[in-house]
Chains A and B, each alone.
Chain A
Amino acid sequence: EVQLVESGGGLVQPGRSLRLSCAASGFTFDDYAMHWVRQAPGKGLEWVSGISWNSGSIGYADSVKGRFTISRDNAKNSLYLQMNSLRAEDTALYYCAKDTYSSSSGLSYFDYWGQGTLVTVSS
């Protein structure tokens, strides 16, 4: 059974940093690209960042480019999101999602999602 378990969320002041983690199990982690998707309270889904199986291809939403860094450790079956210079508008539930291919393309989609970890940016 595929499981994605996010952690690391919490309350943080504007301008500070936070690191999210996603522990994956039930599939061969290093065969697939992975993503972070967020959802602000009462709002829709927003893709945040994605990383290919070998970290060779990485992408970010314009809203987080230059502030967030995605990474993965295939030996630990884990995905990470380093979030710096946090803003109030980064407040959201952050989901980890599995891609269906090793690198995202027009052929892929997200077949499994975690339950999310809540990040609240407030003074």
Chain B
Amino acid sequence: SYVLTQPPSVSVAPGKTARITCGGNNIGSKSVHWYQQKPGQAPVLVIYYDSDRPSGIPERFSGSNSGNTATLTISRVEAGDEADYYCQVWDSSSDSNWVFGGGTKLTVL
């Protein structure tokens, strides 16, 4: 089955740029989606199709995907961005088609 690997944690100072990676075999050939989950809340979509933003998501959130790594970038990080972030892909090669990464805890210092 397809595996997505995320770093367990990323720390960044307010106003700086946070980069959260999602590794997978030839992930660049897949569409990657990113979800933000704050404590006690349901996940919220922040990036779809590698780099598109849903309405209401700040432009500070961006994404890229190439080779074996997809990246969620959060510019000018704010305290309110502190959350868990999960990447997701559709894997057509297995019956369990939807795969999530293990999640990354973003800490704003």
Contacts and interface: CB of A to CB of B under 8 A. Distances in A.
B42 A109 contact: no
Contact of A61 (B33, B92, B96, B101): B96
A47 B96 contact: yes
B63 interface: no
Nearest to B41: A115
Nearest to B89: A106
Nearest to B30: A106
A95 B102 CA distance: 17
A52 to B, nearest CB: 12
Contacts of B44: 113
Nearest to B101: A44
Interface in A52-98: 59-62, 65, 95
Contacts of A50: 97-98
A122 interface: no
Contact of A62 (B1, B35, B84, B98): B1
A113 B97 contact: no
Interface residues of A, number: 25
Given A35-B98, A109-B45, A116-B42, A45 B35 contact: yes
Contacts of A14: none
B7 interface: no
Given A44-B102, A111-B45, A116-B42, A62 B90 contact: no
B42 to A, nearest CB: 4
A23 B90 CA distance: 25
Contact of A47 (B31, B33, B100, B103): B100
A44 B86 contact: yes
Interface string A1-36: 000000000000000000000000000000000010
B43 interface: yes
7 nearest CB pairs, A to B: A47-B98, A44-B103, A113-B42, A109-B33, A45-B100, A61-B96, A106-B90
Interface of A: 35, 37, 44-47, 50, 59-62, 65, 95, 104-111, 113-116
